Amino acid sequence: MPVALALTLLSVFTLAGLVLSAVSGWTLSHALGGSTTAARHIAIAVPTVLFSLFTQSMVLFFFIGTGKLLKEAAAKRSDAAGRDYILACVRGFKMRTSALCTFAPLIALATGLLGVTAHTGKTPAWLHLVAAILCVLLHAVAFGREVVAMAGTNQLMDEAATLVPPAPDGAAR
């Protein structure tokens, strides 16, 4: 549970950094147009991209590690239904989070690279803006899905040994 909380806080800081970076890039550079504002934007954006890479990597490792622990817990169960239910939950958590953990930092990195090319005039500034908006949106979606999946993973880890899987038809046992 403390790891999931720490990762949630890191994700909140990443989102805040992305929003602050996007706002600083848009408002400060357009309002004042000086190189000082571009330097401020870069000083916020570069660490935020690195923070995104770190945070999403840690979230990915969280699901890899807890998935391994849950698979071991499932293997110790004598009932096939319990084993299958735990393994299905692990697969579901991975399906909902793995792609987001991979693509969220990649879009952050791409946005930063587009920012460099926009600053040098090689690409239009609107392309960097669109990438920045997509980056913030993808991180927001990732945050929502990852927090829910981490909570579900923690609950499943707490109950893996004693969990009674739901009936296949949804009827109560």
| Position 38 confidence tier, pLDDT thresholds 50, 70, 90 | confident
Q: Which one-letter amino acid corresponds to residue 8? A: T
Q: Is the pLDDT of residue 122 over 90?
A: yes
Residues 123, 117: contact at Cβ < 8 Å? yes
CA of 116: how far to CAs of 9, 20, 21, 25, 128, in Å? 29, 18, 14, 12, 9
Q: Name the average pLDDT for the chain.
A: 87
Sign of CA dihedral 159, 164, 167, 172: negative
Does pLDDT of 162 surpass 50? yes
pLDDT of the residue at 23: 85
User: What pLDDT shows up at residue 36?
Assistant: 55
Residue 167: is its pLDDT beyond 70?
no
pLDDT of residue 173: 44
pLDDT at position 8 = 92
pTM: 0.84
Per-residue pLDDT tens for 44-77?
999 999 999 999 999 999 999 999 999 998 888 8
